[in-house]
Amino acid sequence: MNIKTPNWVKDAVFYQIFPDRFAKGKPSKNYPNHWQSSNLQSWEKPPTLQKYKGGNFWGVIDKLDYLQDLGINAIYFTPVFQSTCNHRYHTHDYYQIDPLLGGNNAFFEFLKQAHQRNIKVVLDGVFNHVGRGFFFFNDILENGPHSPWLDWFKITKWPVSAYNGSHPANYESWVNNRALPQFNHSNPHVKEYIMEVAEYWLNQGIDGWRLDVPNEVTEDGFWQEFRTRVKAINPEAYIVGEIWTDARQWLDGTQFDGVMNYLFTSPTMAFCGGDRIIRKYVEEPYYFPYPAIKAEEYQQKIEELLNLYDWEINLTQLNLLASHDTARLLTIAGNDRKTVELCTLLLLTFPGAPSIYYGDEVGLPGGFDPDSRRGFPEEQLWDKNLLNYHKKLIKLRHQYPALRQGQYKVLYAQQDIYIFSRNLDNQNIIIAINSDLQSQTITIDSDYHISNILFGDGSFSCEDDQEKISITVTLNDRSGLVLI
């Protein structure tokens, strides 16, 4: 099969934004009727499960200069539609941007300004379940068995109990959470409704969909039709699924362009962090960045991952180190910044689209939800060295096509040293990682000369005795080098 994926994703650096917590701005004077709450939690306080901080799209507009300076050219938002929770996975209306985020006017103004800067925008499609306030389900709560929308959901018996936990819910919901009634996807009207929502927002100009728990939608042909209809509107639209494990079932070229690549996340953290990984923060969810592994096992896991999928798919995977569903990398690593740096170096030199969870680039900590969803910090609290580290690597990725689309080849993997190359046409780049507490010097054979250090701490020499080329690299403790 000739698999086709969006070209722009291969060159993208994503930034994941949890909208309630990234930035809070004032509405444009052109939109004076902006709804605003007076009952918000202060920005700097630890977040809670239910309180809102009031981040909005006006704030994201104000941060576009920051994002562009960082090197971001794509944004993935967690849900933004009208909902009754701060994470907005309890959708009430798929056609309305949540009023606390500024409503549709704020979103369209943001979308226009993002596109003027060549920044792509991907929205979260929560198409497996809804909130109890979703009109069609709310009608069932009001009218019981007389509702015309019964077959939109899976009602098992009466009475339905949507709020009183002392009674059975009597309808199917996601992970038995009665706040999240599950669609009946076998109903053709439900299917058509979801397809039309996806089409509507693509016609408004968004650049793709991230699909929440798409493995829960098991209706035959559903995601194949979704892809057909999405690509009919925009062949370059990105479809990325939230699949935490082996995703071959969905990455056959007929459904998704990529998935959130936790199969990259876990070995990368286990190799770079080793025994520093704090187990209590990673035992749930199930992506297993432990136990500590050495370079040999890291090579095995990475090569297995790259061999799972077509190369075209590998180039459009969404690679990440943390998300709204995990603790933050800095906290997972016991506040060890070197672990964050090494993981980030591997993230930004790996095939696929890197995704940075808002605030990770400035050292924002956070444990389990809701702590991993803190407000983006004031500038005086930023780790400026970590921010500059991200900026330099992102700039390199944009500058050198080999780091984005070049073939990946492991050159050396023993104990704490991992060396690989990215090669495209005549551009040959070597990335060397030392996760040891001691500096290390390694000599490897090479097919090409190395002339410069592009990034990192250490040194190198290159010798050519006419029969072979050898490269010797000296790596400082727990650091990396990028050579060309």
- Catalytic positions, written as ranges: 212, 242
Q: Is 444 exposed, middle or buried (0-12, 13-18, 19+ CB in 10 A)?
A: middle
Q: What is the dihedral of CA 291, 351, 437, 301, to 10 degrees?
A: 30
Give the phi and the psi of residue 101 in degrees, each rounded to 5.
Answer: -85, -5
**Alpha-carbon span 64 to 67, nearest angstrom:** 5
- The answer to whether residues 433 and 348 touch, using CB atoms and an 8 Å cutoff, is no
Structure tokens given for 275: 């025994």
Q: Are 205 and 192 in contact (CB under 8 A)?
A: no
Whether the CA torsion 7, 10, 11, 13 is positive or negative: it is positive
d(CA 450, CA 469): 9
DSSP assignment of 336-386, as one string?
Answer: -HHHHHHHHHHHTTSSSEEEEETTGGGT----STTGGGPPPPPGGGS-HHH
User: What's the token pair of residue 49?
Assistant: 């499960």
Q: Which residues pair with 417 in a beta bridge?
A: 414, 434
Q: Which two tokens stand for residue 142?
A: 């009001």
Count other Cβ atoms within 10 Å, centred on residue 382. 16
The span from the CA of 203 to the CA of 195, in Å, is 12
